[in-house]
Structure 1
Amino acid sequence: MENRSAPIVLLTDFGCKDPFVGMMKGVIAGIAPGSAVIDLTHDIRPQDVFQGAFALYRSASYFPKGTVFCAVVDPGVGTNRNAVAIQTQNFTFVGPDNGLLWPAAAADGIFDTVTLNHHGYFLDTISNTFHGRDLFAPVAAHIHLGVDPVLMGTPLNRPVVLDIPTPEPAGDALILTVLDEDRFGNLTLNITPASFNTHCKSDFFLEIGGICITDVYDTYGDAPDNTPFLLGGSSGYMEIAVKNGSAALNLEASIMDRLRLQRGSV
């Protein structure tokens, strides 16, 4: 799957205050000079594997064939959790085996999963607290140069699975889950516009935190100020938003909160 013009894409929970991301890029530049490195995000909430997994899942398909994704949200760093490379139809995913890579990799069709244990592709010294720099970045750089991940370790038959929650039927209602919260406070729900329209053919109300949401708009600008509403978001899922405000703050809601979508009137 070698494509030297395809980028290495980084996703972490490191933020930009500390030098961690810069060091990873330095390692990549030393092994694969001139490689394109794209920062998908470094603002995943600390240790929030699910948020990182969803960000990778919703983003991977926008990158060219041959892209190497190096993702590090790794609360188990230094423990006996596996380090893995997953080859899919179009991409390679490198990171900890804690479910972070699974949704995006599974969506693209998994070919091979390898436990990374060939130390010749790591840095000479491996810290117990920074595998992003010492293990995952060098592996991603070598894969970008054309090294087959199969040569970097041993087959892994049972990687850690992390599934994106699906709506749960509850009589005439659906129990939904908040999948993401963006910097504007918009809340992504685990229901697509098509599934929403199928379930709510006429009136509906969405219950969350003691508040009922009853309105759907096509754009943020169509809605009144400071009132929660629903719309189809760019991720392909429905969102709760507040024009000129924050749905997350307004509703005191966050990732993995559950809410009830009910047919009919309040």
Structure 2
Amino acid sequence: MITLASDFGTPYPAAMKGVLCRRTDARLVDVAHDFPRQDVRAAAFWLREVLPYFPPAVHLVVVDPGVGTDRNALVVRAGDHALVGPDNGVLLPAARRLAGDGRLETSVVDESRLEPVEPAGGSFGPSATALSSGGDAGDGDNGGDREGPASATFHGRDVFAPAAGDVHEAGLEALADLEWLASLESDPVDCRLPDPTLEDDRATGEVLVVDDFGNAITNLPGDVLAGHDRIVANGEPVPVGETFAAVPVGQRLATVGSHGYVELDVNRGRGDEAFGLEAGDRVVLEPPADDAG
């Protein structure tokens, strides 16, 4: 199995799938292609929460604001899983969770030795001749044929997808046999999700992500709500509920999400708008004054 995750929207993931289908017969499963654009931290959070539910697989991840720069392309072995993607931190939170008590094995992709997948017909876009003469892209010398280096703006198709397909076909125990893999000479870039500050009567954290429902998901552990039927969030009292329906439709509440973190929500509404929050904003939770002490 190969999973795919990106911030591409459509139709770019289809090109990666096309490359994979020419490289392997693996089952392809989409995780998401609508991560917030170029938001490495949001993608890292969701991957950490989602990928552990998969059986052993190769996970192809492309949230890559630095595409075409000198950042590395990585293959990270984590237990029975492998993650393929850019060296910008997006892989590591999920890799650590997948590895459990085991160690990570991180290799760098030598793109010059990675066999490319040529598109059918060999055309990679209109040739210089076609553009200058107004002729068809297939007329004369096809200067648009793709040979040599990958596209500087689409490593998902030209680097990561071929690498993921080859990793799947080789198997985790034979990664050392892949001639285009080399040792990483430095530590990979990490994306450590921030830790909250927990005090006796105050918990300070931040919004990690806002999901499609508008739930503001914080980095505060759910047990900070234990024993409370209401809480003060950024100075505003709100009820604590086990479910969204614990309050009437349209009312705000604090809950513990399926991921185990405190969320600030609205029953059938958008918590981010009601609380005036977005990713990165500070959140302070305190007991009501009559509960303190």
Same fold by TM-score greater than 0.5: yes
SS at match of 1:240: strand
- What does residue 65 of structure 2 align with? 75
Q: Is the 8 A contact 1:11 1:42 kept in 2?
A: yes
SS at match of 1:27: helix
Q: Is the 8 A contact 1:232 1:238 kept in 2?
A: yes
Q: Show CA shifts across 1:27-60 (max 9, x none).
A: 000000x321111001111111111111111011
Partner of residue 107 from structure 2, selected from 90, 110, 114: 114
**Cα 1:27–1:190, aligned 2, differ >3 Å: closer, same or farther?**
same
Partner of residue 7 from structure 2, selected from 9, 13, 28: 13
**Cα 1:9–1:29, aligned 2, differ >3 Å: closer, same or farther?**
same
Q: Is the 8 A contact 1:213 1:228 kept in 2?
A: no
Distance 2:244 2:262 in 1: 13
SS at match of 2:170: coil
Contiguous gaps of at least 5 residues in structure 1: 1-6
Q: Which has the larger radius of gyration?
A: 2
Q: Show CA shifts across 1:142-201 (max 9, x none).
A: 11112544433222240011111111246731211111111110111112223442xx66
- What does residue 143 of structure 1 align with? 167
Stretch of structure 1 that moved more, 122-131 or 143-152: 143-152
Shift of 1:229: 0.6
- What does residue 150 of structure 2 align with? 126
Matched, 1:245 2:269: yes
SS at match of 1:176: strand
Q: Is the 8 A contact 1:204 1:265 kept in 2?
A: no
SS at match of 2:66: coil
- What does residue 37 of structure 1 align with? 28
**Which aligned pairs between 1:169-248 and structure 2 lie closer than 5 A?**
169=198, 172-197=201-226, 204-207=231-234, 212-248=236-272
CA-based RMSD: 1.9
Normalised TM-score (structure 2): 0.80
- What does residue 153 of structure 1 align with? 181
Q: Is the 8 A contact 2:231 2:240 kept in 1?
A: no
Matched, 1:103 2:93: yes
Contiguous gaps of at least 5 residues in structure 2: 117-147
- What does residue 3 of structure 1 align with? none
Q: Is the 8 A contact 1:203 1:265 kept in 2?
A: no
Shift of 1:119: 3.3
Partner of residue 280 from structure 2, selected from 252, 256, 262: 256
Q: Is the 8 A contact 1:179 1:255 kept in 2?
A: yes
